[in-house]
Amino acid sequence: MEINSKIEKAKKGDQIAFTFLLDYYWNEVYGFMLKRTENETTAEDITIETFSKAFDKIGTYNNEFQFNTWLIAIAKNVYIDLLRKKKTSLFVEITDAEDQQAYNIADTTPSAEDALIKEQNLSRLLQCIKELKPHYQEVIQLRYFQEMSYQEIAVKINEPLSNVKVKLLRAKKLLAEIIERNR
């Protein structure tokens, strides 16, 4: 089955497989969390963190279970953690382990996708970016216009590096859809 082969490729670090899995399961996880939270922003944040955690731990996925069931279980745990944090603090803390992980990941020059985004007609691109939700606008702005590394963005917006990567991936996907729709 195609899903299983994508999961196996993702376990080996294949970014195209990650993107496929994100696209394939996004609406299911997001819809599940939207029903629970009744808040689009919260549901989106939880979904982003869910995929971030899933991709970080994909090597532990047991294919005896459905992948979407595994994702939903992660989403539930992220939601429970969020509720606990809301009770104890107004600020989300980055753990020492996450902080160290952010410094250990080497973020090199912009990718080919990055270069393509910059080559687009700037005024048309800016109009399309304005159609994104503000938190997606922010990560696009920081990455492509201020040319910040993933690590710098994580520090600037006070979020774990893995969340920044997933947010940028999602922002680029949504931006591509907007650009295509506006052609």
The answer on 70 and 43 residing in a single domain is yes
pLDDT tens figures, 64-100: 888 998 999 999 999 988 888 776 654 555 556 555 5
- One-character DSSP codes across 37-101: H--HHHHHHHHHHHHHHHHHTGGG--TTS-HHHHHHHHHHHHHHHHHHHHHH-SSPPPPHHHHHH
Split into its structural domains, the chain has a count of 2
Asked whether 175 and 129 are in contact (CB, 8 A), the reply is: yes
pLDDT tens figures, 9-51: 988 888 888 888 988 999 999 999 999 988 888 888 899 989 9
Asked whether 29 and 70 are in contact (CB, 8 A), the reply is: no
CATH code at 91? 1.10.1740.10
CATH code at 143? 1.10.10.10
The answer on 18 and 82 residing in a single domain is yes
The model's confidence at residue 106, banded by pLDDT at 50, 70 and 90, is: very low
Give the Cα separation of 55 and 76 in Å (integer).
Answer: 16
The answer on 19 and 74 residing in a single domain is yes
The answer on 115 and 85 residing in a single domain is no
pTM: 0.57
Closest CA to 124 of 178, 56, 57: 178
The answer on 162 and 124 residing in a single domain is yes
Which residue range forms the structural domain that includes residue 8?
A: 1-101
